[in-house]
């Protein structure tokens, strides 16, 4: 199973090493090429005009129903909740008593409502 980091197998050893993701450079006029493995963009490294255009495009695509959200949860939360609930579904002590997964889902629904 692959993590957010690319896996690399060394030829001399039968070990798997995790490689850090490739940090994409957005300083030239041409979009950077994707490298094998994981690629990442740090928003602070990108021109604010380009970030604005990405955000507008994302909102337009969301409004048209062309965006899917996949929330991956499943880490056992016994040490946190004292039950077999996943950690993101546990009460984490917020005043609202909402779990993290509930907050994420409410934010996604709100975004869907705003762009509709």
For the chain, 116 residues long, the average pLDDT of each consecutive 10-residue run is 48 65 89 89 92 94 91 65 67 86 91 88
CA distance 26 to 66: 25
In this structure, is residue 32 part of a structural domain?
Answer: no
Q: Which domain holds residue 76?
A: 67-116
In this structure, is residue 7 part of a structural domain?
Answer: no
In this structure, is residue 107 part of a structural domain?
Answer: yes
Q: What angle do CA 51, 64, 58 make, to 5 degrees?
A: 10
What is the number of residues in the chain? 116
The pLDDT score that the predictor gives to residue 84 is: 61
The pLDDT score that the predictor gives to residue 82 is: 62
Within 22-94, where are the H helices? 48-63, 78-81
Number of domains in the chain: 1
In this structure, is residue 111 part of a structural domain?
Answer: yes
In this structure, is residue 49 part of a structural domain?
Answer: no
């Amino acid at each position: 199973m692959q993590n957010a980091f690319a896996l690399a197998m060394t030829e001399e050893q039968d070990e798997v090493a995790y490689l850090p993701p490739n940090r994409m450079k957005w300083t030239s006029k041409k979009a950077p090429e994707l490298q094998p493995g994981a690629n990442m963009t740090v928003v602070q490294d990108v021109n604010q005009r380009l970030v604005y255009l990405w955000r507008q495009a994302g909102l337009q695509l969301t409004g048209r129903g062309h965006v899917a959200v996949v929330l991956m949860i499943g880490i056992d939360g016994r040490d946190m909740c004292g039950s077999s609930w996943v950690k993101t579904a546990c009460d984490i002590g917020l005043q609202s008593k909402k779990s993290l997964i509930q907050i994420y889902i409410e934010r996604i629904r709100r975004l869907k409502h705003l762009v509709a």
